[in-house]
Structure 1
Amino acid sequence: MSTHNGAEVLDRVQAFLSRFNAFPDEHCAPMLALWYAHTWAAEHFYITPRLILSSAEPGSGKTRVLEVARFLVKQPEMTFSATPAALFRMVGAGPITILFDEVDAIFDNKGGGNEDLRALVNAGYKRSAMVARCKGDAGNMVIERFPVYAPAVLAGIAGRMPDTITTRAITIHMRRRRPDEQVESFRERKAEAESTPIREALAAWMESVGEQVGAAYPDMPTGVTDRAAEIWEPLLAIADAAGDHWPTTARAACLHFVTAAQTNPTSDRIRLLADLRTVFTDRGVTRMSTVEILAVLHSMEEAPWGDFYGKPINARQLATELNAYGVKVTAYKNGGKAFKGYVIDGPNGLGDAWARYLPAEVPTAA
């Protein structure tokens, strides 16, 4: 397959996977086509971004995405309950793509015995990653180091995966199909036969450009930096190699997913900082009393502050959460009256925490 046919190959991959899935937006299918392509050249990249398929409820199409992916990615290994020992050895034996359904179960703190799987999923996004494990009995113990680098799709219920995974991933928030959203019936034998030439074309094209895309440093959209840039580098490099509309399409998808990740905070503290920035910005003020801040936080219907561990967040909890960022209660006067609250400027102000821990505004995709 000539390197000049990359755009056509990716178009075929996107068209095939779109037949069987109803995605929440137009950026999902091209992103998946690029992600599937990167599995064929993963050994050339420094990292492999995790792909998360999450949903609020079962029956939202996550498993169907995995079933279709089996016919497009390199060496698929679809698993529901593989033992840690089996997965470690499969990954160590050669390049595979892990398609992990119901993965949220291994991150459930109520369950035990999944530490090895969590270690594999956490560390395996980086090519140099190794996980050490003890082998043998007490009298003959040896350390065995396993390479754990492997592309992985992780499907599970939203909110049950830790930050160590979600911050290294591109996440699609799947939704149940509406009655008017029609997809083609999935017949495995038919899908396998029809996908074979597409998969072979994808494999051949990626083999021809693997070293090129692995060495590339693609330009990032404005505002995409640090971890987000690291995650998207392989996909944008592939898009640039494909040419045609793919460089533009891929960067639009990049902005979409990065913006979505930044507007879905990964912890209560980050959410609190983000909500406070919104409160101060909307009111155009540089300081607010604790009483006023709490009243506004409690009124946010979609925020957790009205029911923070069973009760509305109080002044002590607010101070504790913000103190982790060096933000402290400040005394100030307004109209001759004394108040205690929080300010933007100064060594103990919110401004420094916002600059350090919240993303800058990212332009939305056209």
Structure 2
Amino acid sequence: MDVVAVPGRPMGAAILDSLHAALTRYVILPSPAAVDAVTLWIAATHAQPAWAHAPRLVIRGPEKRCGKSRLLDVVESTCHDPFITVNSSPAAIYRSLNDDPPTMLVDEADTIFGQAAGGNEELRGLLNAGHQRNRPAKRWDVNTNTVESIPTFAMAALAGIGAMPDTIEDRAVIIRMRRRAPGETVSPYRHKRDRPRLRAIAHQLRTWLRADLPALEAAEPEMPVEDRAADTWEPLIAVADRAGSHWPKRARAAVLALTAEAASDDRGSIGVRLLVDCRTAFTGHTALSTANLLTRLNSDPEAPWREYGHGGLTAIKLGKLLAEYDIRSCNVRFTDGTQAKGYLKSHFVDAWNRYCPTPLTAVNTAEEGEPSQPSQPSHPWSERDGYTAWDGLSRPTDPHPPAVRQAPK
């Protein structure tokens, strides 16, 4: 597995090619983009001092025998200073981190974060905080009567069955492993025989990247994604750009492929799921009574709302969830003359655009060329919608009043 010098190919690219070949020798990954992403993630661990963010690598599969542990074996053999564990206490992990931290590798992570794991909020907090520099944990040292600042920053790979917590996957490169199909073969991995060969690649990665730390720290690569996804993938893109050859193009293709896959698999928080389901419920309606909206939400057999109690989601629980997005019920007069507590579609539009925009909304905004506007003070709903609030006592005088009255132009 020595690096093969090819005329015209930079040394960094040759080392990455060698690591790529080692991965595909021992593991069947789900796509070429996944192989490239894991290759770059491993390489990035050797330049941790240069990064502002420490991306997580989530290796997950739907069942046993999907190659998760084997991939973690190869990662352990090629990453920087591996710290592998199945079930360590938060205190042990805290004490293992320093200014040049090891690479944390957690196998069977589903036993830590699964439904039967019983908490582990401290470890989850460590993994969340450790994604970004300058997020130390504070502890009181009874021996010195002082506050101790413990670093949390470190790159980490977690392997397990099923999805990891949203807060971790939101900071991760996600590799969705599959069981090998008939005809798919790999070389057996033997720790004593194969690890020394892989550690030789790790040494080459360290020698190359540690010599380039100042340039990597100053790098501002052009990113095909934004926000937290850009923070997570930036170290990998910086390594690819430093390697040159075909790696910059392949790295950005991997970013787009895997972030799109993660987005299609991401159902968001329960609040975002509620916003999406409310948007469906409001199709063809400008207002819905609370009872009608609840009926529409609870009637979906695949939605989570039936789990919110014996009768499903209630008006009180609905109100609490929507209040987080500044959406509240009001008294509504409907076109048939009835009056009831309910919700106006216009009150959801801002939250829909911010938290669960549809592709059509994004296209329309781009075509109109309208940049995102700064937030403005929120006016009372009756003023925003030109709608006369019902006091809950009087009867409507118009036998066919509109559900929402338009403000005069």
State the TM-score bracket (shorter-chain normalisation): 0.7 to 0.9
AA paired with 1:133? R
Distance 1:115 1:353, change over 3 A: closer
Partner of 1:19, secondary structure, is helix
Q: 2:209 aligns with which of 197, 206, 216?
A: 206
Partner of 1:35, secondary structure, is helix
Query: C-alpha displacement at 1:326, in angstroms?
Result: 1.3
Q: Which is further off, 142-151 or 67-76? A: 142-151
* 1:38 counterpart = 2:44: yes
Query: C-alpha displacement at 1:205, in angstroms?
Result: 2.1
Unaligned runs of 5+ in 1: none
Q: Deviations over 1:202-235 (max 9, x none)?
A: 22221233322221111122xx221111111111
Distance 1:339 1:177, change over 3 A: farther
Verify the 8 A CA contact 1:135 1:143 in the aligned structure 2.
yes
Partner of 1:184, secondary structure, is coil
AA paired with 1:15? A
Equivalenced residue count is 352
Q: How much is the aligned-residue C-alpha RMSD, in angstroms?
A: 3.2
Q: 2:141 aligns with which of 117, 135, 139?
A: 135
AA paired with 2:93? L
Verify the 8 A CA contact 2:46 2:210 in the aligned structure 1.
yes
- Cα distance in 2 for residues equivalent to 1:322 and 1:50: 32
Partner of 2:95, secondary structure, is helix
When normalised by structure 2's length, the TM-score is 0.74
- Cα distance in 1 for residues equivalent to 2:51 and 2:242: 14
Query: C-alpha displacement at 1:63, in angstroms?
Result: 1.5
Partner of 2:215, secondary structure, is helix
- Cα distance in 1 for residues equivalent to 2:183 and 2:308: 38
- 1:188 is aligned to 191
- 1:156 is aligned to 160
Verify the 8 A CA contact 1:43 1:127 in the aligned structure 2.
no
* 1:355 counterpart = 2:320: no
Query: C-alpha displacement at 1:267, in angstroms?
Result: 1.7
Partner of 1:154, secondary structure, is strand
Query: C-alpha displacement at 1:39, in angstroms?
Result: 0.5
- Cα distance in 1 for residues equivalent to 2:47 and 2:17: 18
- 1:62 is aligned to 68
* 1:215 counterpart = 2:218: yes
Identity of counterpart residues, as a percentage? Answer: 38
- 2:252 is aligned to 251
Verify the 8 A CA contact 1:134 1:144 in the aligned structure 2.
yes
Q: Deviations over 1:136-177 (max 9, x none)?
A: 36xx64332222211111223434x44432322222233333
- 1:305 is aligned to 305
Q: 1:29 aligns with which of 35, 50, 67?
A: 35
Structure having greater relative contact order (Cα 8 Å, sep ≥ 6): 1
- 2:13 is aligned to 7
Distance 1:279 1:256, change over 3 A: farther
- Cα distance in 1 for residues equivalent to 2:309 and 2:149: 41
* 1:274 counterpart = 2:311: no
Q: 2:106 aligns with which of 81, 85, 100?
A: 100
AA paired with 2:155? P
Query: C-alpha displacement at 1:24, in angstroms?
Result: 2.9
AA paired with 1:42? Q
AA paired with 1:304? P
Verify the 8 A CA contact 2:19 2:201 in the aligned structure 1.
yes
Unaligned runs of 5+ in 2: 364-409
- 2:327 is aligned to 327
- Cα distance in 2 for residues equivalent to 1:239 and 1:172: 19
* 1:87 counterpart = 2:86: no
- 1:147 is aligned to 151
